[in-house]
Amino acid sequence: MNWLISKIQEIFSELSSFFATPMFEIGNKQYSLSLLVTLLLVIFAVFWASRFMSNWLKRGVLIRIGLDRGTREVAAALIQYLLTVLGLIIVLQTAGVNLSSLTLFAGVLGIGIGFGLQNLASNFISGLTLLVEQPIRVGDFIEVDNLLGTVENISIRSTTVRTQDGVFVIVPNIRFVENNVVNWSYRDPRCRLHIPVGIAYGSDTLLVSEALLKAARQDSKVLNDPSPRVWFRGFGDSALNFELLVWINQPAESEPIKSNLYFAIERELGLRGIEVPFPQRDLHIRNLGEIKPLLQQNGSIESGNGKASPPELPLPEPKRSIPIASNNMTLRDLLRRISYFQDCTEVELLQLIEYGYRQLFPADQIVCEEGTPGEAFYIILRGSVEIFSKRVEQYIATLNEGEFFGEMSLLMGIPRSATVRTLEDSVLFVIERNDLKRLLQEHQGLADQIAQKLMERQQTLLQMGILTGFSEETPLIRIRKRLQTLFGI
């Protein structure tokens, strides 16, 4: 038994001497195997500690500071690299390594990296550039080399991008430096989507615009400001080419939003009887009267010979748009019923429709209140409202579909003279002051038309005190000046 114990002690002694035996010398410092193992363990601990510290700061302190996700990721990465470098320097100096003696080794290593590891070095420098300049950040929705996705992580060598299909792609950092990168989230996440639509020839272009705009405003992810627009792109071979332009602030959801818009567009066009045509070619035959006898001789024989002439098929009539019922008037028709806009051109009416928006008001909800500034006027598309005066506690009127209210307060800049409340769930078309201001600035002749129509209500304006004073000026000039002051035209 004593012999076994002594043998084990001898083996451990030999192992200890083997691990303690110097293997090489750097800068007058001898390094044994045990010292190297200790250094490796300590270096591993430094890497682990720096990573733990950066994650703790990212998930705790930086969140409480209120930094966004991209800034937190960049700050945590820089802190991790800084702690790692400082930790390695401290460990090497504590171990007695003379860093100045590693200068020659570092130079040789740099030459090796320059020639043999060019890609790695390029990605390393590119990673530092991305972290410092931050052209892209974690959480950004980007496009590079036809790769579309969200940035999930930025490291020294590569960047992880999650595509819209949920696939994680590892992209070398050098691609973000050398190639053009589209960052949909940079500074302002708002972007504009283009939805092309082909419409059959003969369709009412203003009715098409109204249908496209209504489809756009039904999607809650489409922004009201900037408002949706409709462009008439031109005359195609088989269709009138329109384009719906909408703004969104969720670029990562652009494809689902496009899909929802196409569904809504198809539904709105169908409700109005507007066709999306198939590609087609029209064949026109000249001198058909001269060709017909030849066709009859070659293609048909008397019934006595046992063959009959093929029947002549009638040509199909071109399809026409289904007319809108009188109880389902378009916004154009409703706007023309308002005396101030009945002489508007098609372009002016289109802009009014583009600037306005639909809003649902539940039953028994106050739309506008007596004494408040007139910031909008309303057209009732569905439902009904009640107009009454709180001040004198008197019922005034009930308005139904197709009727409007609030235009006088908006045009003259006077407080509301009554309160309006919905009697049932109602959909109102709303045109706000800023939108009407933009229209009048672009079409100043419209302001003169409105002034002429307001003159027809001269007695009402006198009772409101709007035309008092300035006796040397005519009422029309006073109204024009008031419109110019209110709308900056």
- Please tell me whether residue 94 adopts helix, strand or coil conformation: helix
Query: Is the Cβ–Cβ distance between 197 and 234 less than 8 Å?
Result: no
Hey, which residues does 244 pair with through a beta bridge? 195, 230
Query: Is the Cβ–Cβ distance between 181 and 142 less than 8 Å?
Result: yes
Tokens of 49: 């500690």
Q: Is residue 65 part of a domain?
A: yes
Lowest mean pLDDT among 87-96, 244-253, 325-334: 325-334
Mean pLDDT, range 400-417, rounded to an integer = 83
Shared-domain flag, residues 99 and 166? no
Tokens of 325: 């019922």
Q: Which CATH number covers residue 454? A: 2.60.120.10
What count of other Cβ atoms lies within 10 Å of the Cβ of residue 184?
19
Q: Is residue 131 part of a domain?
A: no
Confidence band for 288, pLDDT divided at 50, 70 and 90: low
Hey, which residues does 148 pair with through a beta bridge? 143
Shared-domain flag, residues 178 and 229? no
Mean pLDDT, range 172-189, rounded to an integer = 83
pLDDT tens, residue by residue, 445-473: 777 777 777 776 666 666 666 656 555 56
Confidence band for 195, pLDDT divided at 50, 70 and 90: very high
| Cβ neighbours of residue 399 closer than 8 Å, sequence gap 6 or more | 380, 384, 385, 387, 405
Full DSSP string of 207-252: HHHHHHHHHHHT-TTS-SSSPPEEEEEEE-SSSEEEEEEEEES-GG
Last residue of a domain, one of 228, 256, 271: 271
Shared-domain flag, residues 338 and 419? yes
Q: Which CATH number covers residue 225? A: 3.30.70.100
Hey, which residues does 484 pair with through a beta bridge? none
Tokens of 419: 């309160």
Hey, which residues does 480 pair with through a beta bridge? none
Instruction: Give the pLDDT of residue 373.
Output: 85
Q: Is residue 258 part of a domain?
A: yes
Mean pLDDT, range 308-332, rounded to an integer = 49
Last residue of a domain, one of 116, 146, 173: 116
Query: Is the Cβ–Cβ distance between 240 and 274 less than 8 Å?
Result: no
214 pLDDT higher than 60: yes
Q: Is residue 295 part of a domain?
A: no
Shared-domain flag, residues 174 and 207? no
CA–chain centroid gap for 73, Å, is 25
Shared-domain flag, residues 174 and 202? no
Q: Is residue 130 part of a domain?
A: no
Q: Is residue 297 part of a domain?
A: no
Shared-domain flag, residues 429 and 476? yes
What residue has token string 């024989």? 301
Shared-domain flag, residues 379 and 463? yes
Whole domain around residue 151: which residue ranges?
Answer: 136-183
Q: Is residue 127 part of a domain?
A: no
Q: Which amino acid is at 88?
A: L
Shared-domain flag, residues 107 and 44? yes
Tokens of 313: 């098929």
Compute the mean pLDDT over every residue in the chain, rounded to the nearest whole number: 77
Sign of the C-alpha dihedral computed for residues 245, 249, 251 and 253 taken in this order = negative
Confidence band for 325, pLDDT divided at 50, 70 and 90: very low
Shared-domain flag, residues 448 and 348? yes
76 pLDDT higher than 50: yes
Confidence band for 14, pLDDT divided at 50, 70 and 90: low
Shared-domain flag, residues 239 and 345? no
377 pLDDT higher than 60: yes
Shared-domain flag, residues 29 and 70? yes
Q: What percent of the chain has pLDDT over 90?
A: 10
Q: Distance between CA atoms of 62 and 468, rounded to whole angstroms?
A: 63
Q: Which CATH number covers residue 166? A: 2.30.30.60
Q: How many structural domains is the chain composed of?
A: 4
> What stretch of H or E contains 462?
helix 458-463
Q: Is residue 353 part of a domain?
A: yes
Mean pLDDT, range 115-138, rounded to an integer = 72
Shared-domain flag, residues 482 and 346? yes
Q: Which CATH number covers residue 109? A: 1.10.287
Last residue of a domain, one of 251, 271, 291: 271
Q: Distance between CA atoms of 349 and 207, rounded to whole angstroms?
A: 11
Mean pLDDT, range 296-325, rounded to an integer = 47
Instruction: Give the pLDDT of residue 106.
Output: 59
